[in-house]
Structure 1
């Protein structure tokens, strides 16, 4: 009985340790799990994002009311969604198209996002692609979204503004 309890205690301890370190790593990858967001009296919607440890801007957000993680990518033309994430949030594959990536041309599938939000910023009816070759859970937030916003980068903070 004593040995069994000791093994159980170690299992619980290691589980808690793994949970603790996973939370630390998640916060290092995405320091914007709680969005710094406001709406000014003028109607301007403002979101401030903190750069992650790798110098990228990653943020929690929503597609069609489903929580997702965005990776802001000024090098991406459109929103690019890994296929497993697209399935999870209920997006359907549309017609296939060929796109150029850093690794060459690939076939992806068109889709439409009814509503995308990051904090107080809300955009409707956006084109996106479902990428069957993309790994991970991060959605690339491309220029078809970013061009609709004012972007100010200063120090470790990226400020996004949406004008009425």
Structure 2
């Protein structure tokens, strides 16, 4: 019996290099489908981000003033981040307050404090969610939120705090009664 020649892709044959294996059409199709889905996810993420940014830029920060049982109430709606934001004034200048029952004082970002012409008092330290920070004591002559006016209020200036939102902490909130129901927070001052 004659010996047949070795097959072309014989792994024992050192003289002839093996042919590269081509990906099957099903593997190529799978990778194309994965890439297409990734592109769809990226496009939807970008669209959702821009929609959310537009939605948040038109935040409802207007506090509503109403009277219930003869008591004036300032009503604030909760936003999509479960925060209560409201327009107000510090020393007659407009600001946005973020109600924060975890903050000891009213806390103003450093750059905003400069715009409001607040004077830095003595330096101290505060423990925040971001760690220990250096702050300066200050006094607010007048704070207004809705119908509520608070005079001569202790506050803090935080130079490392960014943004334009003022934390409305307990140094102010202790002067009011507040009740949260559903998505609304009601602030009032008892007569």
CA offset at residue 146 of structure 1?
Answer: 1.1
Which structure shows the bigger proportion of residues in strand conformation?
Answer: 1
| CA distance, structure 2, for counterparts of residue 163 and residue 95 of structure 1 | 33
Residue 65 (structure 2) aligned to one of 34, 37, 43: 37
Which is greater in Rg? 2
Q: Secondary structure at 1:25's aligned position in 2?
A: helix
Gap regions ≥5 residues in structure 1: 1-20
1:14-29 correspondence runs (5 A) = 24-27=55-58
Cα 1:103–1:24 change in 2 (3 A) is closer
Residue-pair matches, total = 141
> How large is the RMSD of aligned CA atoms in angstroms?
2.0
| CA distance, structure 1, for counterparts of residue 90 and residue 54 of structure 2 | 23
* 1:75 to 2:102 alignment: yes
Q: Secondary structure at 1:87's aligned position in 2?
A: helix
| CA distance, structure 1, for counterparts of residue 68 and residue 84 of structure 2 | 23
- Conserved 8 A contact 1:60-1:118: yes
| CA distance, structure 2, for counterparts of residue 97 and residue 23 of structure 1 | 38
CA offset at residue 53 of structure 1?
Answer: 0.8
- Conserved 8 A contact 1:38-1:120: no
Residue 150 (structure 1) aligned to one of 161, 167, 177: 177
Gap regions ≥5 residues in structure 2: 1-51
| CA distance, structure 2, for counterparts of residue 40 and residue 53 of structure 1 | 26
Q: Deviation per CA, 1:86-145, whole angstroms, max 9, x where unpaired?
A: 011111111101111122221100000000001111000000000000011100000111
TM-score, L = length of structure 2: 0.68
